Structure 1
Amino acid sequence: MYYTQEQIDHANQADLVSFLQSQGEQLTRAGNEYRWKRHDSLTVRGNKWYRHSQSKGGGPVDFLMEFFGKSFTEAVELLTGEKGAAPPPDSPAPLSDFRLPPRSPTAEQVKRYLTETRRIDEDVTGFFISSGDIYEEAAHHNAVFVGRDESGIPRYAHQRGTAGSFRLDVKGSDKAFNFCYRGEGERLFVFEAPIDLLSFLCLFKKEWQKQSYLALGGVGEKALLRFLSDRPNIKTVYLCLDSDQAGNDACSRLVELMPEGLTVHRLIPLFKDWNEVQTRRGEIADGKYIREAIYGLKEPPQEETVEIIRMSEVDTQTVEWLWEPYIPFGKVTIVQGNPGEGKTTFALRLAAACTTGRELPNMKPLPPFNVIYQTAEDGLGDTVKPRLMEAEADLDRVLVIDEAKRELTLSDERIEKAITQNGARLIILDPIQAYMGEKTDMNRANEVRP
């Protein structure tokens, strides 16, 4: 599916507030912006969005790809309501005013120019001459570099003089289909000129036919965006433009124009361009043809890795019991019952038994230990202490965290400190709901889980 640059620009002018509202999304106004309820760190304004938690933003097409899981072409279609152009079953004819220049009966002059002047290896030269993507023009013996569409039909041709500096795009050429090689792999290498593309293949020849290579015919984006639209299998793009200001600026611009989901790297040639590297190859003793490789100019969103624990890695432990099989040490035990059925009485008698070492029915003997008892329902002096005395508790071992200045919650650091500072082995919260915190919903398991 293919969209023109005009259609892409139209999609990126879409009003995101209107789009989200049309999708039933809830927005809250915040000054001149709107905050999206589904992602409260994200704000939209006109055709721009910004996610403050990640310090990133963009336009409508990026937005749909980032948050609605759309491909580049799906995003443009949804925003514009227009279907992209697709080739009909029969291969389309080239533009009516486009004609390839007549061929010379031989390609000897072009071969000499490529192999001797430009130092392109004979096997690389021969491959593209045999495919018809490079040939010799009859009238002036220029080298012609042919660009084809996905169906193999010529759509573009560039003439390069074999002597002097003559260069010319053939009339009617569509720069969306520039000189290229289409492999089946997931990597695309992008160059300014066909000669640089050929030079790169000579320098990095191993299994080169598995990947794809594209010449832009300058630094424009048209051929690149079309190639990516036609080849959605491409996952990684290597920008191999010239090592100069124009090449560097173009790379920065192209990165912004490419759809999300791609990984983009920058390969800077050792010299000004790849053909200079090829022609001066003998000077490079260590075979390092790349001046600098800049990785990660663009990266697809990284899916968060779920941390997994394998049971084979878990150490087996023995449960230590306070009262087997009802109350283990080191875990939370909930005593449930209707009002008036004796939950508090039971808790106080349990505390008394722990502080004195006396046993409850079927309880194994344990040395006395300290207990922390917190209550939000009964008075310490009129209810708790008298009941502890009735249960013959060791009152010196029953401790209460003072809540006079600040109420206690389960997230309060005073609980841990009180346990460690006083050697307590049991803490009783009566009732536990009173210590959840006012913002905790008792009906949400994830909020009450310790």
Structure 2
Amino acid sequence: MYYTQEQIDRANQADLVSFLQSQGEQLTRAGNEYRWKRHDSLTVRGNKWYRHSQSKGGGPVDFVMEFFGKSFTEAVELLTGEKGAAPPPDRHCPAPLSDFRLPPRSTDNRIARNYLTAARRIDEDVTGFFLSNGDIYEEAAHHNAVFVGRDESGIPRYAHQRGTAGSFRLDVKGSDKSFNFCYRGEGERLFVFEAPIDLLSFLCLFKKEWQKQSYLALGGVGEKALLRFLSDRPSIKTVYLCLDNDAAGNDACSRLVPLMPEGLTVHRLIPLFKDWNEVLQHRAEITDGKYLREAIYGLKEPPQEETVEIIRMNEVDTQTVEWLWEPYIPFGKVTIVQGNPGEGKTTFALRLAAACTTGGTLPGMKSLPPFQVIYQTAEDGLGDTVKPRLIEAAADLDRVLVIDEAKRELTLSDERIEKAITQNGARLIILDPIQAYMGEKTDMNRANEVRP
């Protein structure tokens, strides 16, 4: 019989108190839980049960199989009241490869199921899920457990046989190792294992919402299945390498990381023991639930986009502006005087310098104590033009200073500007015109855009 994942989920959401009462069982309330009179060490709460004497618990499907002796499909039917369907025949059609055929099936999966649940300790619900959808089955001739790998269309392309007694292992002839045993979820994470048993064991250890993500067994440590899976599933963003905790697993991780496409994030999860099934076998002893020896993050990261540094205005300290001529010219700032040729920009600059050196004012300007002014010009001679015009403006010539450019032309990046201001206590520097002081790399084709 075949049950969909939706039906299995519905069975595992069943309320165990209501179920036991419907079966005529007697329960005793103990706080938020109920004790089952037939097994007084067992408590149930909602869809969870726990047998304290054996430190064992689980969900409704496990419960019905454990205490009512039902098979997986019988348990789902009893909990949901729904009949299963026959497995979809197209799920088991051979792949279009002439030499690949799935081994004939046994009439039931009893021996394979017992091997997985008893010998390997795989939980009944996980085992039942993969048996139900045909990804695991029991072959007829030797009762081996067969793990089926399918392509994106669900067509079998690979099969691995694992002996249920002894150590027999064999890939079925014609298997394409690009399509190994896996589970495809809709999430962005892929967990990668060496063997199907490790994959199943991991699901038992980290069961919460496991169906949302994807899981892949490599059938060893080769990269073929991994690269094909990533190619078929570009939605995968993060890969967790869950290979064995041994030299081969370590070497494989080092080799696989650089082979994966750029843009992925790759981490490694190292099991507490050699492999995940060994961890599962010791699960009852690991009381703190820490099944990892180590998690190594960032083996591979997507290229990081440069972060733009942002300043939030609520972090900026408010400062008071000191004005030379409010609201036109503040101290400590750059002020550009813009105008067409012949409109008197230089005349204005000279009269401003004169007012600053004498304590005088311009219209609307408050009087300030006289101070030093540095006046640099690249267009007018100092002796024949600048000085006569400063005298005409009644400037204090002793307070008008000029940085000597006889040996070296001045630029805005010249350290002499800062030194001249500091050494002479100047509070205003005038550059006329400003583009003459921008240095050699200035684009003079755009000079008129900044000409004061």
- Normalised by the size of structure 1, how large is the TM-score? 0.74
- In the other structure, the counterpart of 1:21 is 21
- Measured in 1, the distance between the counterparts of 2:84 and 2:31 equals 37
- In the other structure, the counterpart of 1:336 is 338
Q: How far is 1:363 from its partner? A: 2.0
Report the secondary structure of 2:427's partner residue: strand
Report the secondary structure of 1:201's partner residue: helix
Q: Whose radius of gyration is greater, 1 or 2?
A: 2
Q: How far is 1:323 from its partner? A: 2.8
Deviations 1:236-272 (A, max 9, x none): 0111111222222222222111111111111111222
Aligned CA distance change for structure 1 residues 9 and 113 (closer, same or farther; 3 Å): closer
Deviations 1:262-284 (A, max 9, x none): 11111111222111221122343
Stretch of structure 1 that moved more, 76-85 or 213-222: 76-85
Stretch of structure 1 that moved more, 285-294 or 323-332: 323-332
Stretch of structure 1 that moved more, 72-81 or 217-226: 72-81
Stretch of structure 1 that moved more, 305-314 or 191-200: 305-314
Q: How far is 1:77 from its partner? A: 50
- In the other structure, the counterpart of 1:215 is 217
Report the secondary structure of 1:443's partner residue: helix
Maintained 8 Å contact 1:148/1:177 = yes
Stretch of structure 1 that moved more, 18-27 or 193-202: 18-27
Q: How far is 1:219 from its partner? A: 1.1
- Measured in 2, the distance between the counterparts of 1:213 and 1:39 equals 37
Deviations 1:133-158 (A, max 9, x none): 11111111111001111111111100
Stretch of structure 1 that moved more, 305-314 or 345-354: 305-314
Aligned CA distance change for structure 1 residues 445 and 40 (closer, same or farther; 3 Å): farther
- Measured in 1, the distance between the counterparts of 2:373 and 2:37 equals 46
Q: Which structure 1 residue ranges, 5 or more long, are not aligned? A: none
Deviations 1:64-86 (A, max 9, x none): 99999999999999999999999
Deviations 1:158-198 (A, max 9, x none): 00111221111001111111100111110000011101111
Maintained 8 Å contact 1:94/1:154 = no
Maintained 8 Å contact 1:62/1:259 = no
Stretch of structure 1 that moved more, 149-158 or 307-316: 307-316
- Measured in 1, the distance between the counterparts of 2:36 and 2:290 equals 50
Deviations 1:366-396 (A, max 9, x none): 2222212222333444543343333332233
- Measured in 2, the distance between the counterparts of 1:430 and 1:34 equals 92
Q: Which one of the candidate residues 404, 425, 428 is aligned to 1:402?
A: 404
Q: How far is 1:348 from its partner? A: 1.9
Q: How far is 1:332 from its partner? A: 2.5
Aligned CA distance change for structure 1 residues 22 and 446 (closer, same or farther; 3 Å): farther
Stretch of structure 1 that moved more, 308-317 or 239-248: 308-317
Deviations 1:95-136 (A, max 9, x none): 222111111112121122112222212221111111111111
Stretch of structure 1 that moved more, 44-53 or 390-399: 44-53
Deviations 1:40-88 (A, max 9, x none): 9999999999999999999999999999999999999999999999999
Q: How far is 1:403 from its partner? A: 3.6
Aligned CA distance change for structure 1 residues 303 and 348 (closer, same or farther; 3 Å): same
- Normalised by the size of structure 2, how large is the TM-score? 0.73
- In the other structure, the counterpart of 1:356 is 358
- Measured in 2, the distance between the counterparts of 1:251 and 1:414 equals 60
- Measured in 1, the distance between the counterparts of 2:25 and 2:450 equals 30
Aligned CA distance change for structure 1 residues 68 and 329 (closer, same or farther; 3 Å): farther
Report the secondary structure of 2:215's partner residue: strand
- Measured in 1, the distance between the counterparts of 2:300 and 2:103 equals 40
Q: CA RMSD in A?
A: 23.4
Task: Give 1:142-161 correspondences, 5 Å limit.
Answer: 142-161=144-163
Q: Which structure 2 residue ranges, 5 or more long, are not aligned? A: none
Stretch of structure 1 that moved more, 236-245 or 422-431: 422-431
Report the secondary structure of 1:82's partner residue: coil
Stretch of structure 1 that moved more, 375-384 or 242-251: 375-384
Maintained 8 Å contact 1:2/1:230 = no
Aligned CA distance change for structure 1 residues 72 and 204 (closer, same or farther; 3 Å): closer
Maintained 8 Å contact 1:355/1:394 = yes
Maintained 8 Å contact 2:62/2:125 = no
Stretch of structure 1 that moved more, 379-388 or 11-20: 11-20
Q: How far is 1:398 from its partner? A: 2.1
Aligned CA distance change for structure 1 residues 196 and 428 (closer, same or farther; 3 Å): same
Stretch of structure 1 that moved more, 225-234 or 70-79: 70-79
Aligned CA distance change for structure 1 residues 54 and 376 (closer, same or farther; 3 Å): farther
Q: How far is 1:307 from its partner? A: 3.6
Report the secondary structure of 2:364's partner residue: coil
Aligned CA distance change for structure 1 residues 198 and 59 (closer, same or farther; 3 Å): closer
Aligned CA distance change for structure 1 residues 406 and 314 (closer, same or farther; 3 Å): same
Aligned CA distance change for structure 1 residues 2 and 155 (closer, same or farther; 3 Å): farther
- Measured in 2, the distance between the counterparts of 1:33 and 1:54 equals 18
Stretch of structure 1 that moved more, 18-27 or 276-285: 18-27
- Measured in 1, the distance between the counterparts of 2:191 and 2:155 equals 22
Stretch of structure 1 that moved more, 15-24 or 75-84: 15-24
User: Paired residues, what number?
Assistant: 449
Maintained 8 Å contact 2:61/2:125 = no
Stretch of structure 1 that moved more, 433-442 or 371-380: 371-380
Q: How far is 1:350 from its partner? A: 1.1
- Measured in 1, the distance between the counterparts of 2:445 and 2:49 equals 35
Maintained 8 Å contact 1:72/1:259 = no
- Measured in 2, the distance between the counterparts of 1:20 and 1:352 equals 102
- Measured in 2, the distance between the counterparts of 1:398 and 1:38 equals 107
Maintained 8 Å contact 2:27/2:34 = yes
Task: Give 1:59-70 correspondences, 5 Å limit.
Answer: none
Deviations 1:6-25 (A, max 9, x none): 99999999999999999999
- Measured in 2, the distance between the counterparts of 1:201 and 1:48 equals 18
Aligned CA distance change for structure 1 residues 421 and 433 (closer, same or farther; 3 Å): same
Q: How far is 1:205 from its partner? A: 1.0
Maintained 8 Å contact 2:434/2:450 = no
Aligned CA distance change for structure 1 residues 32 and 441 (closer, same or farther; 3 Å): farther
- Measured in 1, the distance between the counterparts of 2:164 and 2:352 equals 100
Maintained 8 Å contact 2:266/2:297 = yes
Deviations 1:208-228 (A, max 9, x none): 111000001111111111111
Maintained 8 Å contact 1:146/1:158 = yes
Report the secondary structure of 2:351's partner residue: helix
Maintained 8 Å contact 1:183/1:210 = yes
- Measured in 2, the distance between the counterparts of 1:365 and 1:337 equals 26
Q: How far is 1:234 from its partner? A: 0.7
Stretch of structure 1 that moved more, 311-320 or 102-111: 311-320
